Chain A
Amino acid sequence: MDSIYDVVIVGAGVSGSAIARKLSSYALNVALIDKEVDVSFGVSKANSGIIHGGFHHKSSTLKSRLECLGNRMFDQLKEELHFPFSRCGILVVAFSDEEMRTVEQLYRQGVANHAVGIELCNRERLLSLEPKLNADVVGGLHAPNGGIIEPYRFVFALVESAVRNGVKLLTDWHLVGVTEQENHYLLRNERGEEIISRYVVNAAGVHADTVSKLFNAEDFTISLRKGEEFLMDRNAKAYPSKVLFPVPSAHSKGTLVIPTVEGTTMIGPTSEPTTCKDDLATSKENFEKVFYNARRLVPVVSERDVITSFTGVRPLVESDDFYIAISEQSPRLIQVAGIQSPGLTASPAIAEYVKELLKKAGLSMLEKTHYDPYIEQVPRLRDLSPLEADALIAQNPAYGDIVCRCEKISEGEIISAIRHGHTTLDGIKFYTRAQMGRCQGGFCTHRILKIIERETGLTIAEITKRGSNSYIASEQVGNLAVEDNHAL
């Protein structure tokens, strides 16, 4: 028997991590567990990174309420956690009078939701807000309170803050068995290790249905919608000044053109149902579809600028709303399921909401006197002036050695990622942006491998892209038997 917790949160995505951080401000013994080797490796790593503007959903839905509350919390969160976030604003673009009627409806919804500064625009106003738009627009909506964020960086910061305030993070901890005892749950992982918790929060993303079943709790099904996104070069001419949405359909908010906080352009996502939770494959058909749709918004979008593409999945429950409630079958389990868009925006408000549910379920909470909402800001060479950079390098020479030339990431930043627990190539990529630029790791992978070896003591065969069997190089030269297959 390892440890006894007041609350265990299953799933270190954005919801679970926000909840963990919220609970870390109370005198509670909390653990955040995840089956992956790093946090934010599921739904939260592969999405559009939008802080939504509070107009897409009806006021009566839970997701709309939490979206609007969450949206307002990001300025303070950024102040405390230093993740990349910009309130650049959102435009919804209509190409016909009929589409304009949908826009008017979104506008009314936004007004009802108290979306700050929301504005109905005619063609001229829209084009002045974003000159790169297709000139065929007839009008649209401007939501200046909307913005963009680096979702994994947000999750990393939430977790770092939670851990600083006493939350125990258990990665590579795959929950496979639950035994309910009188006033606690016994949780067991694949390796047979056990932890005990009085309360459990099920924030397991696409696996929330499986986790619920482990507790003999509600029998719901998570259905999935895949979304493919394409990331373009820093120099792409398509980079807009605001997030650009088409008029939404019943199933999806459509294909967006997104100016990421880090200065690259992203287009996507698609939206199509899938049944496989591991289905993260991209397809040629979607490539064509996404570019067709994106060019309708911004004609200068070009296939030539693509540097990579990826797929994410959205977890949906039948109601199509968030399902956040105390389990009726297992009353010390809180279900946090169906957190699709606008889950990222809503996450800080979801955390507040879950805290209240835990209270209602009988957990007593005392605020900590020594809670520290701040984390240390890791300096980034590319953001510094030459004088500032020079001073930083004098203090820590590792900042003078550029490892990733495309994104100008120094060895100091890589080391910082490793010391914050990100020891896979993907973990380092999401934390630092090294390997995320136009060469996609062609020049820096070998250097990062060496730094991981040196800093962690892992051997080359133990280093992975993202855990499990995603090894990089299993053998060293000289280890393999060489077949004598020379034709001569």
Chain B
Amino acid sequence: MRYETYDAVVIGGGAAGMAAAVTLSKRGKSVIMFEREPQLGGILLQCIHNGFGLQEFKEELTGPEYAERFTQQVASSPITVKLNTTVLELQQKDDKKVVIACNSKEGILEIETKAIVLAMGCRERNRGNINTPGTRPSGVFTAGLAQRLVNIDGYIPGKEVVIVGSGDIGLIMARRMTWVGAKVKAVIEIQPNPAGLTRNIVQCLNDYNIPLYLSHIVSEIRGKDRVESVCVTPLEDGRPNEDKSFAIACDTVLYSVGLVPDNEITRSINLNLNPETGGAWVDANLMTKIPGIFSCGNVLHVHDLVDYVSEEAMRCGNFAADYIEGKTLQCPIQLKAGGNVKYVLPNAMNLEEPSKMYLRPLIVKNSATLEVRCNNTVVKSIKLRHVQPSEMISYTFDPQKLGAEELLELNTHNSLEISVS
């Protein structure tokens, strides 16, 4: 057993973890970062397509290039990096926090720390989660696993592919599988609208004449040893019309049906999760209900772009440094999702500082309005050019810009509701 002490422990060495660790280190804190894989970068390493960094670096990078911008910063900092190391458990002992991890070289490590940043990212939903009936042959993969196999291991998971779900990874994989010589026969999306970004529909499907079936489901997977076909059924008025079902012969089915924050370590310390995000409850300091434990990136909520993850994680690093320095502001104002909003983050804020909010809208609309309400009175209203569920809305709300009367109201009610219409 090795026992060590650091100001902060960062769990996860992907986009979020690296940005948080670098920020903490710049603030002079001693940091240890744990990563399960043999190198830093997380899922970015298998995303060899471009389109990353437009917000953060104002240039278009591939996933590995984007990761490298941060791995270089980590390398030139005094951060202790533990690769091939898995965190097993978090413990709270009085006001001390303890992180238990293991690797093959050092065995079990027990790290005592003042602050913990959770940055474990997310995982993919799979066939079991959406209960596709049928047989259980080989050839059923999540899109991310297929991406890993193709881009890092150099294996082609199949030659005739049907993709379930039009999430971004699925769309990117439609193009990627085409490029390695597989035939992508269809992308099947249950919703009437694509789940992924518009640019990916155009660049990954339309450019390769890959058919996208909206309002359709894969109602059955067939095949004994290996996938032989899928049965596709259209939805009419939200219900499957089995009379119009048709089969598509294929040897591979890829699932791109959403991502879920990977919060298993979070559960080990009994932090309850928000059912809407799958992430922890956090205040405007990105701090969970256990003081000193922070969360950022896709383990907090699933982001559209890595650039937003980095931005959030850098703020998180600063908040964690503030906490270590005893400068954390209380957040008495509760933030709630109102009409047409799936969730709003953070879940609480303070009156002293502007707070950056992320909202996931439930509607598709041009010329929408975002409203901030206190006790059913609109205190702030802004226009949005276009909203859709696949694009997160970010908005910085500054309570100091409110009128005296509104501030008084807010002080009395301690609650704001955010809606989109």
Contacts and interface: CB of A to CB of B under 8 A. Distances in A.
Contacts of B133: 281-284, 287
A399 B105 CA distance: 10
A469 interface: yes
A371 interface: no
Chain A contact patch, size range: 35 or more
Nearest to B137: A470
A405 B136 contact: no
B138 A400 contact: no
B181 A483 contact: yes
A476 B124 contact: no
Contacts of B149: 446, 473
A29 interface: no
Given A284-B219, A470-B225, A446 B145 contact: yes
Interface string A253-291: 000000000000000000000000010111110010000
Contacts of B141: 445
B364 interface: no
A471 interface: yes
Nearest to B179: A482
Contacts of B225: 464-470
A443 B260 CA distance: 13
A439 interface: yes
B123 interface: yes
Interface stretch (B156-164, B290-298, B332-340): B156-164
Contact of B226 (A389, A390, A445, A471): A471
B135 A308 contact: no
A446 B100 CA distance: 26
B274 interface: no
A450 interface: yes
A408 interface: yes
Contact of B156 (A283, A306, A475): A475
Interface in B136-183: 136-138, 141-142, 144-145, 148-150, 152-159, 178-183
Contacts of A488: 207
Contact of A309 (B1, B128, B137, B155): B128
Most B-side CB within 10 Å, residue of A282, A386, A439, A481? A439
Contacts of A441: 145
B104 interface: yes
A470 B138 contact: yes
A446 B136 contact: no
A449 B102 contact: no
A387 interface: yes
B264 interface: yes
Interface string A209-230: 0000000000000000000000
A386 B158 CA distance: 42
Contacts of B123: 438-439, 442-443
Interface string A410-424: 010000000000000
Most A-side CB within 10 Å, residue of B108, B137, B141, B156? B108
Contacts of A280: 135-136
A310 B153 CA distance: 29
Given A390-B1, A488-B207, A442 B153 contact: no
B258 to A, nearest CB: 12
B284 to A, nearest CB: 28
Interface in B197-241: 206-209, 219-220, 222, 224-226
Given A281-B133, A487-B206, A442 B104 contact: no
B30 interface: no
A405 B181 contact: no
Most B-side CB within 10 Å, residue of A400, A471, A487? A400
Contacts of A399: 104
Contacts of A406: 264
B156 A386 contact: no
A250 interface: no
A278 B224 contact: yes
Nearest to B206: A487
Most B-side CB within 10 Å, residue of A282, A393, A464, A473? A473
Interface string B100-130: 1011111110100000000000011011110
A190 interface: no
Given A405-B36, A477-B156, A393 B104 contact: yes
Given A389-B102, A389-B108, A446-B145, A477 B180 contact: yes
Contacts of B247: none
Contacts of B131: 284, 287, 303, 306, 309
B100 A386 contact: yes
A393 B108 contact: yes
A272 to B, nearest CB: 14
Contacts of A473: 149, 155-158
A474 B226 CA distance: 11
Contacts of A393: 102, 104, 107-108
Contacts of B110: 386
B204 to A, nearest CB: 12
Nearest to A450: B153
A445 B178 CA distance: 23
B42 to A, nearest CB: 12
B354 interface: no
Interface string A442-471: 110110011000000000100011111111
Q: Nearest 8 pairs between A and B by C-beta?
A: A480-B181, A400-B104, A308-B128, A465-B138, A473-B155, A397-B104, A402-B86, A469-B225
Interface of A: 231, 235, 278, 280-284, 287, 303, 306-310, 381, 386-387, 389-391, 393-394, 397-402, 405-406, 408, 411, 425, 438-443, 445-446, 449-450, 460, 464-483, 485-488
Given A480-B159, A482-B180, 10 more contacts: A306-B131, A309-B128, A389-B108, A401-B104, A402-B86, A411-B104, A449-B153, A465-B138, A475-B159, A487-B207
6 contacts: A235-B267, A401-B104, A405-B36, A442-B142, A446-B153, A476-B154
